[in-house]
Structure 1
Amino acid sequence: MNRAMSDTCLTQLKGNIDVGQNNPEVGNSVVANNISTNFHDVGSGSPVVLIHGSGPGVTAWANWRLVIPELSKTHRVLAPDMVGFGYSDRPEDVEYDLETWIGHILGFMDSLNIDHADVVGNSFGGALALALAIRYPARVDRLVLMGSVGVPFEITEGLDAVWGYEPSVENMRRVLDYFAYDKSLVNDDLAELRYRASVQPGVQAAFASMFPAPRQRWIGALTSPDEQIREIKKSTLILHGRDDCVIPLSTSLQLHNLIDDSQLHVFGRCGHWTQIEHAGRFSRIVSAFLAEGRAGS
């Protein structure tokens, strides 16, 4: 990771702690499935919905900022903060589970009058995208899964640390070290920025309620049955960092074996931050894959 990329990533996360009108994390707002939902809406053309991961203090903008400019050249890119994350609502009575999150995605699409879209899911978001394609195939055109959850695996030390995060700068530094292959990307300034994002009002309380210990069970809760995954007929692109310490590469190998119309791209010298550590290459691969769908429609 070069210095320019490291500086870009620092800039990317500063919005997490700037609650004013200049905060790039805050985009548009819509009520989706009774949830006030913060989202980004960039570009024009056929819609693509980006579903973020589940790291502490995460937002759609933090996850996708580096790839939105490229994808929005040919698509209308829609990136919501899922319920419980970022600047979307955190209702006191909400139950954070697969049903709630899928309902939120469907409500989000309905609120914008989007009947169907390409769907890109990152990690936790991959599990949601996968389940959406299984349960509501008419709503999904092409499917992209990046470092995806959704099949069984033994919880890694990295994922246990991510889901078990307790707010402190030191703990945030430890979590970020798991995400990045190139540890020079992670420094004290970045850890401080992400820590401050994670302690915004209500953020940690919601996050702590999602994946309490023992955390192996939440992998199971986000898993789709093999027989249902085999029934997916959508053309699927699967991407993974070879050196991912959070979600093992074996999950993407299994998804590739289960989904008949799938292709797998593995990034060397890459951890769990595929869309950050290899942003340019990631964007080109995804853009080309989505373009194949437009050409065949």
Structure 2
Amino acid sequence: MSAPRTVTVDGSPVHLLESGTGPAVLMLHGSGPGTTGSGAWAATARALGTSWHLVAPDQAGFGRTPVPAGSRGGLGLWTEQAAGLMDALGVEQYAVVGHSMGGAVALALAAARPEQVTRVVAVSTMGAPGAPLSADLDAIWAAPAGPLGARDMLSRLVLDQALVTDSAIAARAAAMRAGASAYASLFPPPRARWVADLTLSAQRLAAVSAPVLLVHGAEDRVTPLATTAQPLLEHLTDVRLHVFGRCGHVPAVEHPHEFRRLLSCFLNPGGGH
């Protein structure tokens, strides 16, 4: 992706990576400590190439984007900030790809901006009515900064523990330290209320008119398939679900090539990319 930059949205700075030209795709990261737009999406963005206009922000409280003064993190803020960012960039229509927390934001954005959001890809998504707080998500939100916290968090995210390498642990530990002060305000206990905050009502989900692709790992312990993706099939009007076997919470990391092909095909139904 191109060099990072900062855009002012509603008077507050939003840090983002941006690349390419063509149809616009907003890429929204998930919620673990140390998560950033570039950390979540840079490899996928490089593989998708330059024929898309890709926008990957750090959402408020993550990476280099602060929570605006007088505000607090949550679905309302993240949704408004995402919409405001695309307005500030002058993008009138765009697809949204969101992972975990970012999937809930993507669905909320599609409900709020039906004229602008053309397609939604919700990966390992939150947002389903009635979804409980899993023990693994509770542990991830509470993970302490440092190598031990990073190792524990990464081990919960993936099925294949060979992916929890020393370099991955070191990189995540550094990102956790860098973002610790802003992140500290986001998910204080009791944490079940933050799952409730990221839940969309049946009425709100029914307002999503854009086609939705749900992508999920069969062995996801953080947002289990049965309580998150499957209930959404009942609420979304134009939806399909792709399940990866032998996959935990991050299909983009565990099945990168197939995930990118899936993404490209769905985002560009007419071909040509």
* TM-score class, shorter: over 0.9
Is the 1:44–1:72 Cα contact (8 Å) retained in structure 2?
Answer: no
Are the counterparts in 2 of residues 25 and 59 from structure 1 also a CA contact under 8 Å?
A: no
- Per-residue Cα deviation, 1:114-151 (whole angstroms, up to 9, x for no partner): 12211111100011011111122112101110000001
Deviation at 1:92, TM superposition (A): 4.8
C-alpha distance after superposition, 1:63-108 (max 9, x if no partner): 0122102333431111111111112234453311222111111110
- Which string of whole-angstrom CA distances, capped at 9 and with x for unpartnered residues, describes residues 175-217 of structure 1? 11000110011033422321122112xx222212111111111
Tell me what 1:86 maps to: 63
Judged with a 3 Å threshold, the aligned counterparts in structure 2 of structure 1 residues 219 and 239 are, in CA distance, closer, same or farther, namely same
Alpha-carbon distance in 2 for matches of 1:73, 1:290 = 14
State whether structure 2 residue 171 is matched by structure 1 residue 158: no
1:11 paired residue number: none
Structure 1, gaps ≥5 residues long? 1-23
Counterpart check, 1:67 vs 2:40: no
Consecutive unaligned residues in structure 2, runs of 5 or more: none
| Change over 3 Å in CA distance of 1:71–1:193 after alignment to 2 | closer
Instruction: Indicate the residue corresponding to 2:257 in structure 1.
Output: 280
Question: What's the CA shift for 1:25?
Answer: 9.7
Deviation, 1:49, is 0.5
Matched AA of 1:115: E
Residue in 1 aligned with 2:201?
A: 225
Does the CA-based 8 Å contact 1:25-1:62 persist in structure 2? no
Residue 221 of structure 2 corresponds to residue 245 of structure 1: yes
CA contact (8 A) 1:230 1:259 kept: yes
- In 1, Cα distance between equivalents of 2:167 and 2:18: 29
Quote the residue 2:177 is aligned against: 199
d(CA) in 2 for partners of 1:225 and 1:145?
16
Q: Which amino acid aligns with 1:85?
A: F
- Contact conserved, 2:119 with 2:267, CA < 8 A, in 1? yes
Greater share of helix residues, 1 or 2? Answer: 1
C-alpha separation in 1, matches of 2:268 and 2:145: 41
Confirm or deny that 1:51 pairs with 2:28: yes
Indicate the residue corresponding to 1:12 in structure 2: none
Contact 2:101-2:126 at 8 Å conserved across structures: yes
Q: Which moved more, 1:56-65 or 1:24-33?
A: 24-33
How many corresponding residue pairs?
269
Amino acid of the residue matched to residue 61 of structure 2? Answer: G
- Does 2:148 match 1:170? yes
Q: In structure 1, what is the Cα distance between the partners aligned to 2:93 and 2:38? A: 22
Residues of 1 paired with 2:161 and 2:145: CA distance? 21
SS in 1 for 2:248: coil
Check the 8 A contact 2:67/2:73 in 1, yes or no.
no
- Distance in 1 (CA, whole Å) between partners of 2:63 and 2:182 is 10
User: What secondary structure sits across from 1:101 in the alignment?
Assistant: helix
Question: What is the root-mean-square deviation in Å for CA atoms of aligned residues?
Answer: 1.7
Instruction: State which of 158, 162, 170 in structure 2 corresponds to 1:184.
Output: 162
Report deviation, 1:26. Answer: 6.0
